[in-house]
Structure 1
């Protein structure tokens, strides 16, 4: 059985590397270098060690390369207003699920996701959302996720001008 471990701030650089691989697979091109990587590393270092525990990541170490991650899955807990289907209002959100191409088809992402879903369950989260690519849907379906009828929408607000 593959064991996923909880990520620490020391894994931040590798988590950002895997995020770049995930973004490249979704967009078809590698994301450009830039400050987003430094900002993401710093946010992970802060949030993975935050005692409020509203964000975590689970990882599988690459068996052939010490200090390198083979796979990861990250998640947050958001507190919304409760409703009939989710009285507590706690909602999990899964993101940054990625396996390095050299380590695919070995169950590493499944191990990371299973650990993340256990983490949610232990915290009373009963609703978990994610966005998926068509190629990842079989994995998510096998873990119980279902497509929803709700179309996702997004608004990008303009950044404040720099003085």
Structure 2
């Protein structure tokens, strides 16, 4: 049985390393940069602060041979709770968002993404979160459908992206 553990602040650097691998798998480009340092600081801070509503589940990697390999994560799934205005479809207004589901290529095909995502979904259920959203790649969609996710009821989803510090109007 695969048993993920809750992510801890000291996992922040590894969570960012897996995030970078996730982006590489998604778009075929490795894009290191200052975002990694910033992401590590945010993850470390938010994993300490229960009010930040960030939760993660991870699986530790196996040591490589008899050498003193640095500890690393094999897989992770992160999530957070967003509180919106209540609605008829969601009377609490609380919505979970799953993200940063990634498995190190050395560990793929072992069910680690499923295990960490199931742990995250169980955590959401224990916290009475009835709706969980996520963005999925075509490759990951079958996993999520198998966990009960379905296409979003809103037929069109848009986002607006601005450079930080840009003011309009």
TM-score class normalised by the smaller sequence? over 0.9
Segments of 5+ residues of structure 1 without an aligned counterpart are none
Q: Does 1:49 align with 2:58?
A: no
TM-score where L is the length of structure 2: 0.90
1:116-155 equivalence runs, <5 A = 116-150=120-154, 151-155=156-160
Q: 2:60 — aligned with what?
A: 61
Offset at residue 115 of structure 1 (A): 0.7
RMSD: 1.3
- Using the TM superposition, give the Cα deviation of residue 152 of structure 1 relative to its aligned residue in structure 2, in angstroms: 2.2
SS in 2 for 1:78: strand
User: What is residue 17 of structure 1 aligned with on the other side?
Assistant: 17
List alignment gaps of at least 5 residues for structure 2: 65-69
Residue 28 of structure 1: how far off its partner (Å):
1.2
Give CA-to-partner distance per residue, 1:70-107, whole Å, 9 cap, x none. 00000010001111221100000011000011100101
For 1:158 and 1:102, the matched residues in 2 are separated by 35
Q: Distance between the aligned counterparts of 1:103 and 1:51, measured in 2?
A: 30
**Structure 1 residues 81 and 133, CA gap change in structure 2 (3 angstroms):** same
Q: Distance in 2 between matches of 1:160 and 1:51?
A: 28
Matched position secondary structure for 1:52:
helix
